[in-house]
Chains A and B, each alone.
Chain A
Amino acid sequence: AQKITQTQPGMFVQEKEAVTLDCTYDTSDPSYGLFWYKQPSSGEMIFLIYQGSYDQQNATEGRYSLNFQKARKSANLVISASQLGDSAMYFCAMREWNTGNQFYFGTGTSLTVIP
């Protein structure tokens, strides 16, 4: 089974609107971390937001928030007030703290912000 699943290969959003990028994960490790990264066309991977499995509240970082639904094993990224510069690939990732050293990445979602 895939550790990280991103089912939206491409998404469009109108500038200034909010958008949700989906991510589901699969793990039996009770201790894990969930990450979102942005990869613009230039190629660098930019860390956006982190959620720990024991965190009681959803993580927020500026216009980014992580909708963490532990029972559903989902960790959706919400971008509020989209900007043209948000157009990029977005990757969801997971690290299992008790099981090996790998970060597992999803296949990514390409977000296009329309003016």
Chain B
Amino acid sequence: GAGVSQSPSNKVTEKGKDVELRCDPISGHTALYWYRQRLGQGLEFLIYFQGNSAPDKSGLPSDRFSAERTGESVSTLTIQRTQQEDSAVYLCASSSRGRETQYFGPGTRLLVL
């Protein structure tokens, strides 16, 4: 597609349930980032994928968070046993070589009740 897409656009879940968020990067973009943005705050880095290299997971807040990406395609961010503090917008971004600007998807708004 022309831009980064994310699904679902909105997700409401109950505390303790697992959720899976999906990101389709721009075709040909080798780098992919996941961020979390809590209400009224800036972006918090979660994880970075570059091609087939080992991902940089240094931003994941706990072991309940994990992400996968196969090659240079779709990525999924999984949050296990969701907590209310996980409520946020989860943004995905991709870039062409990891050195250039990122282009963001529309985000997934997650609400944990």
Contact = CB atoms under 8 A, between A and B. Distances in A.
B25 interface: no
Contact of B98 (A91, A101, A104): A101
Contact of B50 (A93, A101, A104): A101
A103 B58 CA distance: 12
Contact of A101 (B41, B48, B105): B48
Interface string A29-61: 000010101000001111100100000000000
Given A47-B101, A91-B42, A103 B107 contact: no
A103 B42 contact: no
Nearest to B59: A102
B89 interface: yes
Interface of A: 33, 35, 37, 43-47, 50, 91, 93, 95, 97, 100-108
Nearest to A107: B42
B104 A44 contact: yes
A104 B109 CA distance: 21
Contacts of A43: 89, 106-107, 109
Interface in B24-75: 33, 35, 41-43, 45, 48, 50, 56, 58-59
14 contacts: A37-B104, A43-B89, A44-B107, A45-B93, A45-B104, A47-B101, A102-B45, A102-B59, A103-B102, A104-B45, A105-B43, A105-B45, A106-B42, A107-B41
Contacts of A35: 101-102
A73 B37 CA distance: 25
Nearest to A47: B101
